[in-house]
Amino acid sequence: MTLRNGFPAVSDAADQFDIRAALRATTAQDANGNIKTGVSITAKSLTGLVTAGNGMNSDIAAFDAVTNRYGPVWLSNDGTISVKHAAAPSANSRIDLICIKQNETASPASDPTDGPEAIIVTGTPAVDPVTPATPEGALALARVTIPSTATSMTSTGVIYEQMYPFTASAGADLLFRSETEKDAWTPWEGQKCRLLDGNEYQAKSGVWVSLTQTQRIRFDRSGTPSANDEMHLSGAILPVSPAIAVISIVWVNKGAFKAQSWKATTLARMVGWKVIGSAVHSPAAENIVYEHLGKNQFAATGSGEIQYVTPGTIDIFANAWHRGCLIAPVTPS
């Protein structure tokens, strides 16, 4: 590792790789320093850059993009260009991949030519065709399913699917097409993103937490004393800061047991969440001995355990029911 030549600088010593290294400072990166390649966000890129053209041609609208060839490479297309597909397969269907690429003959690249190129990677016909691999250094824009009956790119059965990701400036909120694309990105703490459907997220403890959607809580009861009892747990994470867990509990203990004073009975664990502050511990509504009513409660621990706590040692008869709720500030565990 070394300090790279500056760009621009009076010395004019920066080579192409120094310049690409400098351009990293302008492009969004993940927690591991990988740059956010893709197309810049415009009205057109949000609706679809790749469409059917004349005959067997596909049209690519104007765009600005960032690709990665040993560092960021900026590519610009200032008008509509066309690329031609091979004739439709004689049987079944195939998937063609439409890409852009900056070709380079100089090491460490080894392309046959220099310069930008829009290319089609022709797929293999099959009953269930698969998408061809994206060439090294290329950015996939769209995939197109072409049936054997197609005589042009506007024929029935030709399906276009926009694939290009969206780039972003350093520190800017990210835009992802899908949950799958979002979850493939390794965010740094506090990084924000949104999906094309409008839902927004922020990274907390390495996990994307929704800022706009209520999330369901999953619970794990394995290994708990109540694992074989009848239990109905329902919970949601409210998208506020900090996030709030709201949990409803209905529990019927199958067998009689003795609850020890202030010795918690663990009912379940929240999966992926821990409590970060004081929880509202709800008194349990129960059909137990009258003298103990209103004294017992449900509690949430820092590690995310849901517990039943009694202030005194009491005998709980079989098939007693216990109902209540919990509210607690939480963060991903």
| CATH code where residue 227 lies | 2.60.40
Q: Whole domain around residue 281: which residue ranges?
A: 216-332
Q: Give the tens place of pLDDT for each residue, 207-252.
A: 888 888 888 999 999 999 999 999 999 999 998 878 899 999 999 9
**Does residue 88 sit within a domain?**
yes
pLDDT at res. 184:
96
Give CA separation, 168 vs 41, 42, 60, 123, 209, in Å: 8, 12, 21, 30, 20
Q: Which two tokens stand for residue 137?
A: 């250094």
Tell whether 162 and 104 lie within a shared domain. Answer: yes
| Number of other CB atoms surrounding residue 102 within 10 Å | 20
Quick: pLDDT tens for 131-186: 999 999 999 999 999 999 999 999 999 999 999 999 999 999 999 999 999 999 99
Residue with tokens 């060839």: 69
The structure's pTM equals 0.73
Residue with tokens 């054997």: 148
- What does the alpha-carbon distance between residue 73 and residue 87 come to, in Å, rounded to a whole number? 33
pLDDT of residue 62: 97
Query: Residue range 117-127: average pLDDT?
Result: 97
Look at residue 281 and tell me whether its pLDDT is greater than 80.
no
CB-based burial label for 171 (10 Å; 0-12, 13-18, 19+):
exposed
pLDDT, tens only, 56-89: 999 999 999 999 988 999 999 999 999 999 999 9
pLDDT at 280 over 90: no
| C-beta contacts of 301-305 below 8 A and 24+ residues apart | 301/264, 301/275, 302/274, 302/275, 302/276, 303/269, 303/274, 303/275, 303/333, 304/269, 304/270, 304/271, 304/273, 304/274, 304/275, 304/330, 304/333, 305/264, 305/266, 305/268, 305/269, 305/270
Instruction: Identify whether 251 is part of a domain.
Output: yes
- Tally of domains in the chain: 2
| 23 and 161 share one domain | yes
Domain annotation covers residue 179: no
Structural domain contains residue 192: no
Residue 186 lies in a domain: no
Last residue of a domain, one of 148, 172, 196: 172
167 and 222 in a common domain: no
* Residue 308 pLDDT: 94
Domain boundary among 138, 172, 206: 172
Q: How many CB atoms lie within 10 A of CB 55?
A: 12
In a shared domain, residues 249 and 304: yes
What's 114-162 look like in SS3? Answer: CEEEEEEECCCCECCCCCCCCCCCEEEEEEEEEECCCCCCCCCCCEEEE
User: Does the structure show a pLDDT above 80 at 282?
Assistant: no
Pair 162, 227 in one domain: no
**pLDDT value for 1:** 63
In a domain, 253, yes or no: yes
